[in-house]
A and B are shown apart, each in its own frame.
Chain A
Amino acid sequence: MTIAVNAGVEGQALKEAAQDWGAKTDTSIKIVELPYANLFEKELLDLKSKTGAYDVIMLDDPWFPQFTTGDQLTSLDKMYKAAGLNGPDGDFIKSTLDVCREPWATGTYYALPYVGNSQLFFYRKDLFDKYSLTAPMTWDSVLLAAKKIGAGEKMYGYVMRAAAGNAVVTDFMPLLWAFGADVFSADQKPVVNSPEAVLALKFMLELGEVTPPGYTGYNADEVSAQLLQSTAAMSINWPAWIGPMDDPTKSKIVGKIAFAQVPSEKKKGQAELGAWLVAIPSGSKNSLKAFEFIRWATDSEQMKTAALRGNPPTRSSVFDDATLLKKFRAFPTQKASLMGSKPRPRTSAWNEIENAFGIYLSKANSKTMAPEAALNEANKEITAILNRNK
């Protein structure tokens, strides 16, 4: 059986689970590990040409709409029925199950959620205590705290990533939502140039003033490096980075970081969901085995093992487990974040939209375009993309 996984922390746990399962059921397991971008390309190519090279694939939830077009993934509803089972149980956190269904939250299951990834807000508790600041609940207080800390310490108050594309869009979404805006309106029209969105972008630029100047080209690793080296005090980040923060071989700030929910502003803060799912390509020749494997890997016992290996779970019971709570101090926060999280817009043209949106957001952040102009252009581009892809 061949499994394609993401090169990185999330893929790590699934890899080991696969090896365990292979030993248990005496099946030979082949693992293909690829970096994010290439994983997407190879999987999509394989799905569209139905080569059957992979029996199980890991996918990031925004890819899901594009992957389920044209009968490319095996329907899990059918497989559950054939096995006389009811479908995924209620222990899974709803927001993670919703993204496994096409249409979103109501349709057929095509995947199971493996990595419960949603954004968290990382901040230096020690510095907050030093300056008598309370935990940041709103974006306004974040800005104030960042200014205060930046003035008093030899470091930057905030750090974020604004490299064109996925990086800047991911860091902008929580702001967009907190200011009451969104990418699409209720009737699926692009509204990224709404007045609330403009305010959100303007606020991002204000945050940019207390962020290291190179942030317009930053990706996730640069952001985390700033935190780890104690040159920045706060940022939006993902659970994958919780471990390294407390690892003395990587971090200069062991034990000093606290994790909170994404801040609110006009609306309650919602973390962006970035769950990793496991699915079965319809071209696979081992679908029964693959189905067995993904059910096994996502059951409570295996999720617990995966959690011990550093994987954020998608089951409530695992988050509440006593032994795990002792080891992972951020679990309650992660669970709350996951439960309240919001996925990115479910459209098969998301890649193109994210790309266009990302270009203009990046331009706004490097000050080559005014916020209103950037968002207007972005909106025009997104409309064109939707029209082309009807």
Chain B
Amino acid sequence: MARRRILWILPAMVVLVSLSIYPILFSLKVSFTNQQGDWSLSNYSRIFADHLLHVSIIQTILYVTVALVIELGLGLFFALVIDSMGRGKYFFRAGFLAPMLLPPVVAAVIWRLIYNPEFGVLNNTLKFFGFATKNLTWTSGEGSAMASVILVDIWEWTPFMFLLISAGLQAIPGEPCEAAKMDGASSLRIFKDIILPLLKPTLFLAILLRAMDLLRIFDQIWILTQGGPGLATETVSLYIYRTAFRFFNFGYAASMSLLCLILVTVFAKNLFGMMKMKVA
């Protein structure tokens, strides 16, 4: 009995363990060495004093929260909308999915072009409709950069939430809704009392999966703004990456990464706990 269940899971575990054990041990070792190569706790003490790191952590949390909430909301909304369509459902679905299929690198570059204050399509279209675009600098303006970057994330990843939730909707049996409708219940009521409870597991799964990826967001921001202007769009992954590959300070990068790992694990455990309670 035990042998069989372990045997079937063994190959997968071997792969995962070998790809994660060495990196974690290596990072632990490196995080305790300073630039000169001696044993030192300086990397960890620096974490507390590092103003740039603190700013990037706050901005990462901001980014994740805003993007997650909007993507969840829009994904849910459009999943419901498309689901209640008769003809053309597949056509609309295919179109909605498209942004997710584009390599993030390309998406970021094309949005950079779109955002260009002078030549970009966005400002030019707004100008055409009579809006004053002189101060709309999108990714170049410290105030608007974060919003602009989040917008790109929303464009590219709402399809993911949309897909997941659409599928969840498919599994909800139609009869209770039909019955409620015949009893005269409003759409909103049906949604709140019937659909939402059955949809909760899907929503939690979507939140969990998307949050994990958002916390590690890198490609898009790197190409769109490189963390600027100033520090406006600097997130933790960018800062860690720069420390590791530009300044070649792997020790400090490792210590920050381990800190992030701990924070994310704690967050996930809590989310898990909430999930189990609400579903049971």
Contacts and interface: CB of A to CB of B under 8 A. Distances in A.
**A–B contact (CB under 8 angstroms):** yes
Interface of A: 40-41, 44-45, 48, 66, 162-165, 212-218, 222, 225-226, 229, 231, 349, 351-352, 355, 359-360, 362-363, 365-366, 368-369, 388-389
A369 B142 CA distance: 11
Q: Interface size for chain B: under 10, 10 to 19, 20 to 34, or 35 or more residues?
A: 20 to 34
A363 B230 contact: yes
Nearest to A366: B142
Contacts of A162: 229
A363 B228 CA distance: 9
B229 A164 contact: yes
Contacts of B145: 217
Contacts of B229: 162-164, 216-217, 362-363, 365-366
Chain B interface mostly helix, strand, loop or mixed? loop
Interface of B: 35, 116-119, 134-135, 137-142, 145, 225-231, 242, 245-248
The 9 closest A-B pairs by CB, nearest first: A217-B140, A164-B228, A214-B117, A363-B230, A214-B140, A352-B247, A366-B142, A214-B137, A41-B245
B279 to A, nearest CB: 44
Given A213-B117, A214-B118, A225-B119, A164 B230 contact: yes
Given A40-B246, A163-B140, A229-B118, 10 more contacts: A164-B228, A164-B229, A213-B117, A213-B134, A214-B137, A225-B116, A359-B231, A363-B142, A366-B229, A368-B230
Nearest to A231: B118
Given A163-B229, A352-B247, A362-B229, A213 B116 contact: no
Contact of A213 (B119, B135, B231, B246): B135
B248 to A, nearest CB: 6
A351 B118 contact: no
A165 B145 CA distance: 16
20 contacts: A48-B248, A163-B225, A164-B227, A164-B231, A165-B226, A165-B228, A214-B118, A214-B141, A216-B141, A217-B140, A225-B116, A225-B118, A226-B118, A355-B242, A355-B247, A359-B230, A359-B231, A363-B229, A365-B229, A368-B230
B137 A222 contact: no
Contacts of A366: 141-142, 229-230
B139 A217 contact: yes
Given A163-B226, A231-B118, A389-B35, A217 B247 contact: no
Nearest to A361: B230
Contacts of A217: 137-141, 145, 225, 228-229
Contact of B118 (A44, A212, A352, A389): A212
A250 to B, nearest CB: 13
Given A164-B230, A389-B35, A215 B140 contact: yes
